[in-house]
Every structure is written in C-alpha cells, then in structure tokens.
Chain A
Amino acid sequence: MGDAALAQAGGPGTVEVHGHSRLQHHFDTLGQQKSAATLGMWVFIAQEVMFFGGMFCAYMVYRIWYYDGYVAGSRELDLVLGTVNTIVLIASSLTVALAVNAASEGRRQATVILLGLTLVLGLAFLGIKYVEYASKFELHHAHHAAANVRLFPMAGFFHVDGELAPVGNQMRMFMLLYFALTGMHAIHMIIGVGLLLVIMWMAHKGAFSPQWFTPVEMFGLYWHFVDIIWIFLFPLLYLVNRHH
C-alpha cells in the first residue's frame, strides 16, 4: 500500500493545542508556530548580514588602498553626534528588550510605553542623522544642482555646479561609502519605525498575551540587528585615526 501509515492523533508524547485564535491552520501547536517564526526571523537576519556585508567588503578594500582618505573623511564626521546616536540606539535596544519582556508577562500598558520609548529613541536617531546629512550638503553648496542631485541631497556633496566637488578622490571614496552604509542603515531604521507603529497599535488593542506575543519578539530581533549594524558602523566610520 505505501510507506506511511496514516495515523490519528494521540499516544504518548503528543500535544494537542488547538483552538487558539492565533494558531494558523498549517501548524499543529502554537509552540511549533513560534519556533518556525523565530527560525524564519534568524534566517532573514542571516540574509541581512550578507546584504550589509557586500558594503562592508567594499569599505574594507578601499580602506586598504585609501587609508589617508578615510582618515580625512572620518575627521569630517561629527564625533559627538555619532556617539550620541550610538547611545540612543543602544538605549532603544534596551527599551525594546524590556517591551518584549513586558509582553511575555502580559503587561499591556508597559508594553505600549516601552515600545513608545523605542519609537522616540528611533526617531531621535533619524533626526540626528538628518542633521548630519544636512550639514554635509550645506558644506558643498550645490545651488545649481541637476535634477537627480536635487532628488538625492547627499549627491550635493559630490557635485558642485555640475562638476565633481573639489575634494581628494580618496576622501570622496570614503564619503561615498559613508553615505551608502549609513543611508542603507537609515532605510532599515525607517522600515523599523513603520513596523513599530503597527506593533504598538496591536499592543494598544490588547492583541498580545503571554501565549502569543510573537510579533513583538520578532520585531525586537529585527531592531537589535539594526542596532548591531550601527555598532560596527560607528567605529569604522567615525573613529578612523582620531589620535593626531
């Protein structure tokens, strides 16, 4: 007839948990569903490591070739703002970890407040980044910028009145990677902020319980990952030869 005996539920070692409104039909238990979600999120994070990894590879190659340009470029960056941003982001990791903790214990109000704090810190990070970018743009006045330069303001750093800005090529290479790395990081932060708003709304509506708070936990993993990227970006971009 066939390999598999088609068996009914029951017997030692089997668990039946069904009927929870959040249990999707293709899973047998909430535990299986959550462990699938967790594995999926970690696999996604592995993918993101390789995504940023390509840029880290480019950074590495040009650091070997153009160290002096990296030093010059790094000194152009605002160390105070960079350090503040690092502190802000690590603090937001703390608040989101506490939010997951609160959700796991069913403390609805604490969850919302902690997620809200995470949001404030995340927005603060983005605000400071905007200030940094804007100062770069103003440093090289691109009043007669071409259309594509106006669309991407940081390009104003690279072209002045249609010509390449009069900075050394080596430093230009550093700045290209600075904008690419921090820009991609900022895009991930913005996506995170969007997700955070959705999760906050769900928490506010009481969607989470100690049996099911998976979205908060998965969001936490994503947010921590974005923090880790910055933990590497900060020394690699802001601390290149700060001793004179």
Chain B
Amino acid sequence: MSAYNAELEPEEYHEHHVPRTTYYAIFVSLMVLTFATVGLAFLNLGMFNVTVALAVAVTKAALVVMFFMHMKYSSPLIKLVGFAAMVWLGMLLLITLSDYLTRGWLMAPPIVR
C-alpha cells in the first residue's frame, strides 16, 4: 500500500549471522573472568582491589553487550544509545561524587580567644 524507502532502512533488517562458536568462546571467557575476579579478590592490592574488580566487571559486561546482545553488529544509533546510558550513569555518579569527595575540605579554623 505504501512505500518504505530502503535508503532509510537500518542494518537490523539485514541479518547478522553470529556463529554459535562465538557464543561458546564468549561464555568461556566470561567463566575465566569470573574465576579471575574471585581469585584477585583474595590478593591484597590495597586500594586497587576495587579498580581491578570493576575493570573485570566492565570487561565481562562489554563482552555480553557486544556479542550476546549483538551491539558489535548493530547500527551506530544503537551504539549511541548504549553509550548515552553509560554517560548518563557516569554523570549521576561523578557529579554526586563532587559533593561527597569535597566534604570536609573547607574546615573553619578553631576560634582562638
């Protein structure tokens, strides 16, 4: 009845075929990273423990997003949506931190009589 302009057609319409071996490989990587994060938690890395733990978590999440959720094969718009979500979460956390990390900076000196 009406025409859809194929120029505007985004890539989702064209099937990206991800071979099953990719999924298995990603799964194995996720398992390795899971055991790594538990193991690394038992090492004393001081203040870097949380950085390492988060870095591993981000890596695992990236693998899930890119391959299981097909973002690697998706249109730039979908990538922008994912990016925006991360940026907005970052804004919430970082700007709130700007308050909490500066608490106690401006300490009034004791009144000396």
Question: Do A and B assemble together?
Answer: yes
- Once A and B bind, how many residue pairs between them come within 8 Å at the CB atom? 161
CB pair B27–A235 under 8 Å, yes or no, is no
Binds B, one of A121-129, A156-164, A173-181, A226-234: A226-234
Instruction: Report Cα–Cα, A10/B31, bound state, in Å.
Output: 52
Chain B nearest CB, measured from A148 CB (Å): 30
A90 at the interface (CB under 8 A from B): yes
The chain A residue with its CB closest to the CB of B59 is A231
CB pair A91–B49 under 8 Å, yes or no, is no
| B93: A residues at CB distance < 8 A | 53, 56-57, 60
CB pair A46–B85 under 8 Å, yes or no, is yes
The chain A residue with its CB closest to the CB of B88 is A50
CB pair A18–B1 under 8 Å, yes or no, is yes
CB pair A31–B100 under 8 Å, yes or no, is no
On whether A93 and B64 interact (CB within 8 A), knowing A29-B4, A232-B57, A235-B37, the answer reads: yes
Residue total for A at the interface (Cβ-Cβ under 8 A) = 63
CB pair A231–B4 under 8 Å, yes or no, is no
Instruction: Report Cα–Cα, A38/B74, bound state, in Å.
Output: 10
CB pair B53–A235 under 8 Å, yes or no, is yes
The chain B residue with its CB closest to the CB of A25 is B1
A79 at the interface (CB under 8 A from B): yes
The chain B residue with its CB closest to the CB of A94 is B27
Contact of B9 among A11, A32, A45 (CB under 8 A): A32
Interface of B is mostly: helix
Contact of A54 among B9, B67, B82, B92 (CB under 8 A): B92
CB pair B2–A9 under 8 Å, yes or no, is yes
Instruction: Report Cα–Cα, A219/B40, bound state, in Å.
Output: 33
Instruction: Report Cα–Cα, A43/B89, bound state, in Å.
Output: 14
CB pair B85–A14 under 8 Å, yes or no, is no
A87 at the interface (CB under 8 A from B): yes
| Residues of B33-77 whose CB lies within 8 A of A | 34, 37-38, 41-44, 49-50, 53-54, 56-57, 60-61, 64-65, 67-69, 74-75, 77
CB pair B49–A241 under 8 Å, yes or no, is yes
A-B contact pairs, 24 of them (CB 8 A): A7-B3, A9-B1, A9-B2, A15-B9, A29-B4, A31-B4, A31-B9, A39-B81, A45-B85, A46-B82, A46-B84, A49-B88, A64-B100, A87-B34, A90-B31, A93-B64, A98-B20, A224-B64, A224-B65, A224-B68, A232-B54, A236-B57, A242-B41, A242-B42
